[in-house]
A and B are shown apart, each in its own frame.
Chain A
Amino acid sequence: MTTIPHTTQTDPAVHHHAPPDSFIRKYVFSLDHKVIGKQYLGLALVAVFTGMVLSWYMRFHLGFPDAKAPGLGLITPEQYLQLMTMHGTIMVFFVLTTAPFAGFGNYVLPIQVGAEDMAFPRFNMMSFWVTFVAFAILMASFFAPEGPALSGWTAYAPLSAVGKDAGPGQGLGQTLWAFSILFFCIGQLLGSLNFIATTLDLRTKGMSLARLPYCTWSWFITSVIGLVAFSVLMPACVLLILDRVAGTSFFIPAGLVVSDRLQNHAGGSPLLWQHLFWFFGHPEVYIAILPGFGIISTILPVFARKPLLGPKVFLVCLIAIAFLSYTVWGHHMFLSGMSPTSATLFSVPTLIITIPAAIITLLWIGTVYGARLRFTTACLFCLGFISVFVTGGLSGFFLAQPSIDTYLHATYFVVGHFHFVMGVAAMFGIFAGTYYWFPKMFGRMMDERLGKVHFILTLVGVYATFMPMHYLGLAGNIRRYSSFPADYMSGDLPVHRWITIAALFTGAVQLIFLVNLIRSRFAGEPAPANPWEATSLEWSTTSPPPFDNFGGHHLVVAHGPNEIGVAGPDGKDYIMQAE
């Protein structure tokens, strides 16, 4: 019997596609992971400024409830909720997920494993464009007859399920919201599929799993989390859409009267939505923050000129967090009528998950301890990340306990907590990654002077904005209200004013970042191949890398990523992974 030679072994040396020559194939419908990474980052940049402007309007109304907001006039409570919903949705999905995970992951991961592209470049392109469509649908909801949805980024049923009786924006706006998130899930699933297959199958010779750089490890683990989480949110969105457009009753109970109208539904379970949503929603927090963990663990040793302390412990902690992230979703639902026994069952793993997170923080501090730090902007943002993550994490200890959460859950304490631990920390990770990889992406250095000003003002700004929220929360100031003009909370108004001014200030400071980005892109100093004296493979190629990443060379990896602060060749204090 003749044996047929199999041709299925994909040789990573063979590029899946030729360099494109048309503008459309090169920059729009590109299959190149580097272009797709930049597209994701560009989308996140547009999204973050949109989300920030929405937050300015919210803060303006909270600080100055009687003043007319530019462009909107006097903001109504319904408009406030629409601003809040869109701010949360845009920031969580289209910034905190797309930038650190899909954006940097797409650009850097294939190069760091020594591949010439992702495992499935077409899926990769689809992943971005589906995400783009999701964003376009969400933006379109601003132009729906009664505006966008107002049910919060968590879209709790039955408010999100019953349609336009539930308020302005709950008609077409909420339907568009649900479709947008459905598409977003598809995009991220395609992305996760690529990240996992690329990491497992396209590693270059010598790149064992143990030699993967820490950010690639974190993107890989984030992909696994995302794969499970988005696979659950997607069915939830399908059922929500059917409740809204097809008259089913998955989430709408019988006998529900909204706006004086009896809803024609029976027997649905609003809590079912909460369970499905938070089974996705809590792991989503880690989808936003774990890439930051990886980015910090990769960048910090480079500027400390010391190896990362306890790399194996770091990986074990990452994996532990991934597992535990699926056991804690109920802590978002302590106030949903949950039995104290269930609440305890969710509270305990919530407290336990702080252990690996705290260990990782200690590893970073141990890495920095005794180091002669190079205070680049990227390094400063890493240190800032540790600071805001610890600040946000500490308030999490309180909220993890059902008895304390009962008091604090609906207050600004929670707003302060999650903005620090998830929002600002992830943003600092994004900033650190931007200042670190910008030279690789565009072949030009960013302005370090502007970068440092950006860092210091941002750090001051975020503390001035979110720290006072903890005090507001302890004082019983309820969140989600549009204003507190004449009730027991009106005494908090001066604090709200302070926060508003701080938020406007912090937002304005981001223009420095934008100017730096644009100016450096066109007029920055030319970047050498390895400006930071780092070890991973992306620094073994030109800045920016050629189309196939390594100019036809097949790198052979001989070292781990952690060989920094050692006696290297030519008197250097580091050894590249592939010399």
Chain B
Amino acid sequence: MSSVSATPARTGVWVGIGAISMSFAAYTSALVVRAGDSPDWTHVQLPWIVYANTLTLVASSITFEIGRRRLSGPYESRASGVSYLNLTLALGLVFLFGQVLAWRTLAAQGLFLATNPNSSFFYVLTAVHALHLLGGLAAIGYVVHRARLAAFPSPGPVSTGAVGAVALYWHFMDILWLYLLVVLTIWL
């Protein structure tokens, strides 16, 4: 093996981050062009729940980070590391549930996917982000499973590389959401 230090999993996540960033750059430019190009651009009030969701997602990044550190720490701390990853998983699901509530709030106001360009972009951007987040949740489920196998009962080595790669992806999902929130707040 050459002197490359990054593992393929980590490289893969970085490459994935590049691709997803490019994808959202394309959505954003479509939004900017669509907003500037036409007279039917209106105003959509973001439901308050998206801000609560934001806090949930930020919290999930923090719990992931604590869990990751505990997993690579001494043997005694690993059990709590697994618990923190489980908590991250739960917070991720709460975020998704919150996003569904946000969609229902808009729908209750009569704002559907095709109602106006603003609502179209809200649904598309949040749904595409949620899809990517689902991938992240599956990956967390996988590393929790792996960490549990490695942490109990033997004090054998824990594969922290996969956890690190998934953490990178999860933090990126967090940052991507913050970016989307800014875009949606400014343009909608």
Contact = CB atoms under 8 A, between A and B. Distances in A.
Interface of A: 1-2, 4-12, 119-120, 189, 192-193, 196-198, 200-208, 227-228, 230-232, 234-236, 238-239, 242, 246-250, 253-254, 266-269, 271-272, 275-276, 279
A97 to B, nearest CB: 16
A116 to B, nearest CB: 12
A253 to B, nearest CB: 8
A447 to B, nearest CB: 40
B83 interface: no
A239 B2 contact: no
A6 B16 contact: no
A248 B6 CA distance: 43
A335 to B, nearest CB: 19
A200 B6 contact: yes
Contact of A119 (B8, B25, B113, B120): B8
A528 B41 CA distance: 67
Nearest to B38: A267
Contacts of A198: 8
B162 interface: yes
B128 A238 contact: yes
B34 A235 contact: no
Interface of B (DSSP majority class) = helix
Contacts of A266: 38, 40
Contact of B161 (A8, A197, A200, A279): A8
A5 B15 contact: no
B72 A232 contact: no
Interface string B50-81: 00000000000000000000001111000000
B4 interface: yes
Given A193-B15, A193-B19, A267-B38, A246 B113 contact: yes
Contact of A205 (B1, B33, B114): B1
Interface in B1-44: 1-2, 4, 6-9, 11-12, 15-16, 18-20, 22-23, 25-27, 29-30, 33-34, 37-41
B114 A272 contact: no
B185 interface: no
Contacts of A235: 23, 26-27, 30, 128
A238 B120 CA distance: 12
Contact of A272 (B7, B37, B40): B37
7 contacts: A200-B4, A239-B30, A239-B124, A246-B113, A246-B114, A253-B38, A272-B34
Nearest to B163: A8
Contacts, number: 153
B18 A269 contact: no
A267 B117 CA distance: 8
A275 B33 contact: yes
A464 B134 CA distance: 54
Contact of A268 (B18, B34, B113): B34
A267 B34 CA distance: 8
Given A120-B12, A201-B7, A236-B26, A8 B159 contact: yes
Contacts of B2: 203-208
Given A200-B11, A227-B19, A268-B38, A276 B4 contact: no
A185 to B, nearest CB: 10
A250 B29 CA distance: 12
Given A4-B72, A247-B114, A267 B39 contact: yes
A152 B34 CA distance: 24
Contact of B8 (A202, A232, A242): A202
A228 B22 contact: yes
Contact of B15 (A12, A207, A227, A234): A227
Contacts of A267: 34, 37-41, 117
B25 to A, nearest CB: 8
A5 B157 contact: yes
Contacts of A272: 30, 33-34, 37
A180 B128 CA distance: 19
A236 B29 CA distance: 11
Contacts of B6: 200-201
